[in-house]
Amino acid sequence: MRTILPKSGFFTFIFLFSSLFFANVVFSQATVMTDKDDYAPGEYVIITGTGWQPGERVDFNFVETPKPATCVNSHDNFAIADANGNIYNNQFEIKINHLGVAFVLTATGQVSGRVAVTEFTDANVKFSTSGLPPNVNVTVQYQGTGPGPTPVNTSITFSTGGGGNGATGNIALIGNLSFQFPSTITVGTSAYTLSSTNPVSPTSVPSTGNYPIEAVYVTCANPSKPTITAGNSTTICDAASVVLTSSATTGNQWYVGGTLISGATSQTYTATTAGSYTVIVTVGCPSAPSAATVVTINNITAGVIAKGGVQSGPGCGTLDPGITAITTAATGSATPTYIWQQSIDGGSSWSTIPSEVSAQINPASFTVTTSFKRIATSTLNSVSCSATSNVLEYVVNPLPTVNAISPGGTTNVCVGSTLLLSNTTVGGVWSTSNSLLATVSEGLVTGVAAGSPVISYTVTDAITGCFRTVTKTVNVLAQPTAPTAGNISTIYDGTLKTGTATVSTGETVDWFTTENGVTTTSAPSGTNFGTYTAWAQARNTISGCKSATRTLVTVTITKANLAVTANTGQTKVYG
């Protein structure tokens, strides 16, 4: 394999190789060789050899010409000879900075002292032709980047050889490359036309591997110009396609915008991108390009929707989210139109919301978790293409289940008295609407002042924070005023004297032996000398409410004066 290298490096290489070649003749017991004469970046050099002392270490020394400035580490390595004196090493990788370098490899046995030498190069691009007669000189102009990097703008001439096909040696190039083969080559009375190149110019030379460039020449009559038939509308949605069919069954090459489509050589081509498509048929030589078929992409982007600022949720029992927002507007080849869909089963099924055709939606309040999405549509050349937005999920958590407060019906409590309410739903909290009328603790209501406060029992879900409250109105009834005492203070006259207490209409008097005790009695009364007492408490005969205090009622009977008659007509009072 012939490699194109810089001239100064090439002569240095010849000198070193010639000297080492004669040395290898002297020490011909051992050999070293590589699996290829020329490598491309990314390939590994496989080093083998024979004739070494079994078990000895054979050191490898690499001399690079020219040595790249970026190559600062030594490539020297070694191999251990096996029982037959053979060596093997595959650890040297050709790098991109080795392009254009000639290597001299010297192998030295550390026990036997034997020395063997071989050489190889690093280049990657090769120009070649097919379809030309033998022994025709072909000159290729090319412009690109060589090792260094160094700009290259030159030409190379090579012969087609005895078989009619020919190739240059490898050339060290990398990156963008433009090249030009002769469009027509005349040999005798025959004219050969450049049919195609693979790849086409310009191209990009990869950083690894060999990169062959072949030009195909033909001499023949041009085929008829083909026609293209589209399998469906040539306006398609993004990610959709249209099948284009050539009138020729074979020899097709498809183009878009005048650029060859690599690998598109079938009778049909499936177009997925916008552009002007043509086809050329080659039967020995190419036809004229077909009339162009223009494929148009009807683009549509869904945009991004977001929750508005009214109430994004979660809600408890119900949610009124307000109008949605737009983070990114929908766009299309035509002006987008919209429909909205909703789901109440987590997106398993969706239903279209009637009459909602704007870019935003302001849904009515709902009582279950509901998701919304927007579908934007662009209609171009009677072809409609749609895209679906992201999903907005509005969470509505259910309220806890709470039983009614017991007892049911009308509930009364007197000021200063208590009433026990209960609820079979555990974990709730009691509260009152007006603590100036009644207080409540663990369901025990205490009347404070006459009125109708609302007693509430609230149960809160510990996970969602949602709560439900049940209420009961309690009538706090006023207490009667304490009775007015009808005390008696008199002199003994032998008749029964009874104290009294006066209360308002609809009230009665309960009598007790003490001011605060529970022992009942009757109104104080007596006949003989002494003091008789009892405590009077007013009680409403309808509500049963009692006065907050009792009134002391007293009957006091004092002794009468004693009169003694001595004789008729004379009286003396003792006393």
Dihedral of the alpha carbons of 429, 432, 433, 437, in degrees to the nearest 10: 180
Confidence of residue 28 (pLDDT cuts 50, 70, 90): very low
Q: Does domain 411-477 have CATH number 3.40.50.80?
A: no
Q: Is the pLDDT of residue 87 over 50?
A: yes
Q: Does domain 300-397 have CATH number 1.10.10?
A: no
Confidence of residue 298 (pLDDT cuts 50, 70, 90): very high
Query: What are the φ/ψ torsions at residue 510 (nearest 5 degrees)?
Result: -105, 135
Per residue in 314-364, pLDDT (tens digit) is 999 999 999 999 999 999 999 999 999 999 999 999 999 999 999 999 999
Q: Is the pLDDT of residue 3 over 70?
A: no
Q: Is the pLDDT of residue 383 over 50?
A: yes
Average pLDDT estimate for 301-325: 94
Give me the CATH code for the 484-558 domain, please. 2.60.40
Model pLDDT, residue 164: 65
Token pair of 71 as six digits:
């190559």
Confidence of residue 412 (pLDDT cuts 50, 70, 90): very high
Alpha-carbon separation of residue 333 from 297, 298, 367, 379, 388 (angstroms): 8, 5, 39, 8, 16
Token pair of 448 as six digits:
């404070």
| 528 contact partners, CB below 8 Å, separation of at least 6 | 492, 557
- Range of lowest pLDDT (127-131, 322-326, 480-484, 515-519): 127-131
Model pLDDT, residue 343: 98
Query: How would you class 109 by CB atoms within 10 Å of its CB: exposed for 0-12, middle for 13-18, buried for 19 or more?
Result: buried
Report the DSSP pairing between strands 170-171 and 3-4. parallel
Give me the CATH code for the 3-122 domain, please. 2.60.40.230
DSSP, res 451: B
Q: Where are the alpha helices (DSSP H) in 116-198?
A: none
Q: Cβ distance 268 to 245 under 8 Å?
A: yes
Average pLDDT estimate for 31-36: 91
Q: Is the pLDDT of residue 186 over 90?
A: no
Q: Is the pLDDT of residue 21 over 70?
A: no
Model pLDDT, residue 15: 41
Per residue in 452-476, pLDDT (tens digit) is 999 999 999 999 999 999 999 999 9
Residues of the chain with CATH 2.60.40.230: 3-122
Confidence of residue 40 (pLDDT cuts 50, 70, 90): confident
Model pLDDT, residue 315: 95
Instruction: Give the rounded percent of residues in the chain with a pLDDT score beyond 90.
Output: 71
Residue the block writes with tokens 């060596």: 87
Residues of the chain with CATH 2.60.40.1080: 411-477
Residues of the chain with CATH 2.60.40.10: 228-298
Model pLDDT, residue 16: 42
Alpha-carbon separation of residue 445 from 422, 424, 428, 434, 565 (angstroms): 10, 17, 16, 12, 72
**Rg for the chain, CA atoms, rounded:** 57
Instruction: Give the rounded percent of residues in the chain with a pLDDT score beyond 70.
Output: 91
Model pLDDT, residue 4: 41
DSSP string, 77-92: EEEE--TTS-EEEEEE
Q: Cβ distance 18 to 31 under 8 Å?
A: no
**What's 125-218's CATH class?**
mainly beta
- Whole-angstrom distance, CA of residue 429 vs CA of residue 316: 18
Confidence of residue 7 (pLDDT cuts 50, 70, 90): very low
Single out the residue of 361, 341, 340 nearest to residue 351, CA to CA: 341
Residue the block writes with tokens 């050999």: 31
DSSP string, 366-402: BSS-EEEEEEEEEEETTEEEEEE-PPEEE-EEPPPP-
Q: Is the pLDDT of residue 507 over 60?
A: yes
Confidence of residue 574 (pLDDT cuts 50, 70, 90): low
Model pLDDT, residue 563: 67
Average pLDDT estimate for 3-8: 40
Average pLDDT estimate for 284-310: 93
Confidence of residue 145 (pLDDT cuts 50, 70, 90): confident
DSSP, res 406: B
Single out the residue of 278, 285, 276, 274 nearest to residue 264, CA to CA: 278
Model pLDDT, residue 223: 84
CA angle 459, 463, 464 (to 5 degrees): 75
Query: What are the φ/ψ torsions at residue 301 (nearest 5 degrees)?
Result: -115, 140
Strand ranges (DSSP E) for 160-272?
Answer: 166-167, 170-171, 174-180, 184-187, 190-198, 203-205, 211-218, 228-230, 235-237, 242-246, 252-256, 259-260, 268-271
Q: Is the pLDDT of residue 5 over 70?
A: no
- Whole-angstrom distance, CA of residue 481 vs CA of residue 41: 113
Per residue in 214-235, pLDDT (tens digit) is 999 887 777 899 999 999 999 9
- Whole-angstrom distance, CA of residue 338 vs CA of residue 331: 11
Residue the block writes with tokens 């409609």: 384
Model pLDDT, residue 570: 62
**What's 228-298's CATH class?**
mainly beta
- Range of lowest pLDDT (94-103, 346-355, 383-392, 402-411): 94-103
Model pLDDT, residue 103: 86
Single out the residue of 57, 51, 209, 191 nearest to residue 116, CA to CA: 51
Model pLDDT, residue 571: 62
Model pLDDT, residue 295: 98
Model pLDDT, residue 566: 60
Across the chain, mean pLDDT equals 89
Q: Cβ distance 466 to 317 under 8 Å?
A: yes
Q: Which helix (H) or strand (E) holds 25?
A: helix 7-26
Q: Is the pLDDT of residue 113 over 60?
A: yes
Q: Cβ distance 134 to 86 under 8 Å?
A: no
Report the DSSP pairing between strands 300-301 and 383-388. unpaired
Q: Cβ distance 55 to 137 under 8 Å?
A: no
Confidence of residue 567 (pLDDT cuts 50, 70, 90): low
Q: Which helix (H) or strand (E) holds 460?
A: strand 454-460
Model pLDDT, residue 514: 97
